[in-house]
Structure 1
Amino acid sequence: MQLTHQQIQFFHKESYIAVGPLVDESKTQQLKNTFSQLQRQWAQEQGESLEDYCRVLSQWTNLWKQHLLFEAQIHHANITAIARQLLGVSEIQLFHDHLISKPPVHSKAVPWHQDYAFWPVDKPRALSAWLALDDVTEKSGCLEFLPGAHLDGEQAPQDFLGSDKDWGERQTEVRKVPVPAGWVIFHNCLSWHMTAPNQTHQERCAFICIYMDANCHWKPNHSEWHPTNDQVSVAPGECFNMDEFPLIQSEGIGYEL
């Protein structure tokens, strides 16, 4: 799939772009059903009821290691093609995937932040491909962006438990980006974004793949606490090891979803 010049320019100017549908209804439902099966398995392994388990956890990483369906999804032909176009490279690597579930009614807001500030990566040459597994509305907690704020560069990591960032007069520039299931929002790792609580009675799920330029290097002191540091087997300053951070080349590896 080839984006237009205008779409690519929009991404670089605004920090995000929504494209779709890229995954059909049958496949998004398969992903959700598979995730539900994994949740039941993990809850049982923890000796918890599914209700208690899901009340505590709302984000799960590296699902590509847990099930072949998610492993195939990280290689989705059109999604990875768009990621390469937006990064301007022929080879990308998966930094990690994660599935975020906003439970109905009692979920919380995710405050304004930049993702890159929390990653042990040496340069901000990465993006997130945020696949909506449900119809995402303003009421269910869609992504919100401050367009163009990524051009100011990296800022200090935000305290997720502290006070939210105040944009002052720029607050009027904030854009909410609701999308139907199967659409993907690609956003720069320096984009400023947040999500509001889910005020509906339905779960709101998104499967996110973080793709980086394959020439990015491991920089542990950029984020010493990040759990992916435990999966790195190279020296600081080297490219990430491909067993834990799969290389995704332009010709793909035969996955078609």
Structure 2
Amino acid sequence: MTYHVTDEQIAFYHNQGFVQLDNVLTPAQIEELTYYLNDVMLDQALPDGGASDDFYRILNSRMNTWKDSAGMAKYSLSPYLADIALKLAQTDGIRFFHDQAFWKMPGDSKPTPWHQDATYFPMKEPDVLTMWIPLDDVDENNGCLSFVPNSHRVGKLTNVDFVNPIDIFELAREANPHTEMRQPVIVPLHKGSCTVHHGLTFHYAYANKTDKPRRVLTIVYMSARATFNGRSNHELTRELGLQDGEPLQGRLFPVLAARV
């Protein structure tokens, strides 16, 4: 089974820095994935990274669920999903970096501030792709994403602390006073659809104002030729003991799709 990514969608991704893809997973697959993700998120024995209560009000998360759940690995390491990233990236190989499950908790939720994903990652190359798969219908009431078109061309800025965020738009103006930002685009989705965005694209998630959690699986992909930047303290690079410039490869970063 393959997903048909059109030439128009590929061009849109490269021009705008994100793209919406509909009906990527079937209702049965979403039901199965939801079961696995709920099981992982409710396992209190799993580490949560020492998240503070303030962070928890923004996001309840679990990273690398594929290492703890064969069910999650079925989706996080899916060649079918990775092939979509391969087609969008227009590269010769796509390597898995990590997955992350997110619950934006109901009630007293907070927005996820504007940020770039690539600033948190340990690769030199910024052209990573994040696939954002909601397991619930999402809109502005429960935490859908908003993207700034063409913002991936601004370049890599700096990490944004989710609890005490800095203004990423001001950072962009400081980096280049002539930077002109376009109006954000809000992307509501039905479960089964997804977005894919470039690692440098500015994006934001609304607060969850409903009485149910907003559940999402994200999968981050990188080029098969990605290399370590020598600075990150990401848990997987610590585990491997990588040195600056070494390839991000091996059992923790498998190639999931390739042009052969």
| TM-score class, shorter | 0.7 to 0.9
Whole-angstrom CA distance in 2 between matches of 1:251 and 1:73: 21
Aligned to 2:184: 174
> Is the Cα–Cα contact under 8 Å of residues 141 and 209 in structure 2 kept in the other structure?
yes
Whole-angstrom CA distance in 1 between matches of 2:202 and 2:38: 30
> Is the Cα–Cα contact under 8 Å of residues 233 and 241 in structure 1 kept in the other structure?
no
> Is the Cα–Cα contact under 8 Å of residues 232 and 240 in structure 1 kept in the other structure?
no
TM-score, normalised by the number of residues in structure 2: 0.84
User: Is 1:232 matched up with 2:240?
Assistant: yes
Whole-angstrom CA distance in 2 between matches of 1:161 and 1:111: 9
User: Does 22-31 or 129-138 show the bigger shift?
Assistant: 22-31
Q: Rate the CA distance shift 1:20–1:72 in 2: closer, same or farther, 3 A.
A: same
User: Is 1:202 matched up with 2:203?
Assistant: no
Whole-angstrom CA distance in 2 between matches of 1:67 and 1:180: 25
User: Does 64-73 or 153-162 show the bigger shift?
Assistant: 153-162
Whole-angstrom CA distance in 2 between matches of 1:33 and 1:100: 14
> Is the Cα–Cα contact under 8 Å of residues 79 and 256 in structure 2 kept in the other structure?
no
Q: CA deviation at 1:30?
A: 1.6
Q: Which amino acid aligns with 1:209?
A: I
Aligned residues: 243
User: Is 1:85 matched up with 2:87?
Assistant: yes
Aligned to 1:98: 100
Q: Rate the CA distance shift 1:162–1:43 in 2: closer, same or farther, 3 A.
A: closer
Candidates 213, 216, 221, aligned match of 2:223: 213
Q: Which amino acid aligns with 1:240?
A: L
Aligned to 1:124: 126
Counterparts of residues 1-257 of structure 1 (less than 5 Å): 1-40=3-42, 42-43=43-44, 58-165=60-167, 167=169, 173-221=183-231, 223=232, 225-250=233-258
Q: CA deviation at 1:233?
A: 4.1
The runs of 5 or more residues in structure 2 that have no matched partner are 48-52, 171-178
TM-align CA RMSD: 2.6
Q: Which amino acid aligns with 2:257?
A: Q
TM-score, normalised by the number of residues in structure 1: 0.85
- Residues 52-107 of structure 1, C-alpha deviation per residue, up to 9 Å, x if partnerless? 9xx68701011111122211212334421110011112311111000011111111
Q: Which amino acid aligns with 1:43?
A: Q
Whole-angstrom CA distance in 2 between matches of 1:45 and 1:151: 37
> Is the Cα–Cα contact under 8 Å of residues 17 and 152 in structure 2 kept in the other structure?
yes
Deviation beyond 6 Å, 4+ runs, structure 1:
168-172
